[in-house]
Amino acid sequence: MKFITISRRDDIPRNRIVLIRILAILLSIAFAGIVIMALGYNPLAVFRQMIKGALGGKIRLQQTALKAVPLIITTMGIIVAFKMKFWNIGGEGQIMMGAMAASFVALNYSHLPKTLLLILMALASIVAGGLWAFIPAIFKAKLGTNETIFTLMLNYIAIKFVTFLQYGPWKDPTSQGYPKVPDFTAKAILPNVFGVHIGWIIAIILVIVTYIFINHTKKGYEVTVVGESVDTARYAGINIQSVIIVTMLISGGMCGLTGMIQASAIEKTLTASLSANYGFSAITTAWLSRLNAVAAFFVCICFAILLQGGASLQITMNIPAAVADMIQGIILFFVLGSEFFLQYKVGFRKRLAKEEA
């Protein structure tokens, strides 16, 4: 009889890595095409429209960039936490708390000069996001709680808290009963550079900073050691509790900054739907990039192309949103699945029936 054997790879040639990933992409396109055809659509026309919808023209490129920016920044925050093997599933909540803090500054200090106001909004969002991540970090460091569940639950608390503000204390009195927070003044809106808000420059800077932090700083080295082996880190004299707390303050701070950018440049106010699932999407992009900041930059751009291309299908071809989401899911399933074959090798072996006995 044949038996499947799975063993971890010690090393894999670079050309094999490229081959496996290319094969995964080709298979994902083929299977997505089969599903599209089964639903009665022309696969070639659908894929052509997805590419055109994301990259075909200045406005579409700008829309793709607008989706890439929050994804890149949030992914950087997730990478820092995951590098320590702290499973921060709370990006959504940290984004919302960052947006809430930035909105508080924007609504109450609009008399300040624009540059100063934007800086204060950014700082407030970083502090709020960091403090929201600090809560599960301190419980993990002191009590050893499960950070996955803890950070996940904090997402819903943050979203409901913003919803409460939107429907209650921060409700715009001039909205004629509609539950919305007042719009920001012009001073609280991020400026544009080349047709896209300045957040894209912030995203590039954070990619560079994250890469340097993880690979070329003492604290980044400590984060990596703690992630690889807590016992080794303890033997090396690393203060594990301190590393956990500092790392999560950084991780949550970057996610919180995403909230400020979305509130200021996109929504121009505070809404309960502001995070737009970027906190969860960043988990996928972080894994796809194998926690490499530079690779994550390009992965996030590809993911944004998928998002924008899928959205264009609904408008131009009247394809239901569920179909567009399904196409994205199939592609991501195959690409994520390829990571398994990069880390493990699958083999078959034969055993005689008497050996089994």
Instruction: Please report, as a single letter, which amino acid is at residue 200.
Output: W
Asked if residue 159 lies in contact with residue 275, where contact means CB atoms within 8 angstroms, the answer is: yes
CB atoms within 10 A of CB 345: 13
Question: In this structure, is residue 74 part of a structural domain?
Answer: yes
The pLDDT value recorded for residue 351 is 53
- What is the separation, in whole angstroms, between the first and last Cα of the chain? 13
Question: In this structure, is residue 103 part of a structural domain?
Answer: yes
pTM confidence score: 0.91
Q: How many CA atoms within 13 Å lie on the side-chain side of 259?
A: 40
Question: In this structure, is residue 10 part of a structural domain?
Answer: no
Question: In this structure, is residue 75 part of a structural domain?
Answer: yes
Strand, helix or coil at 33?
A: helix
Question: In this structure, is residue 155 part of a structural domain?
Answer: yes
In this predicted model, what pLDDT tens digit does every residue of 221-275 receive, in sequence order? 999 999 998 889 998 899 999 999 999 999 999 999 999 999 999 999 999 999 9
Q: Is the dihedral of CA 141, 145, 148, 150 positive or negative?
A: negative
* DSSP designation for 6: E
pLDDT at 349 over 70: no
Burial 119-150 (b: 16+ CB within 10 A, else e): ebbbbbbbbbbbbbbbbbbeebbeeeeebeeb
In this predicted model, what pLDDT tens digit does every residue of 13-22 receive, in sequence order? 778 788 888 8
Give residue 133's domain range: 62-298
Q: What domain count does the chain have? A: 1
Pick 347 or 214 by higher pLDDT. Answer: 214
Give the chain's radius of gyration (CA, Å).
23
Question: In this structure, is residue 218 part of a structural domain?
Answer: yes
CB atoms within 10 A of CB 116: 11
Question: In this structure, is residue 291 part of a structural domain?
Answer: yes
How far apart CA 83 and CA 286 sit, in angstroms, is 10
Question: In this structure, is residue 247 part of a structural domain?
Answer: yes
In this predicted model, what pLDDT tens digit does every residue of 62-99 receive, in sequence order? 999 999 999 999 999 999 999 999 999 999 999 999 99
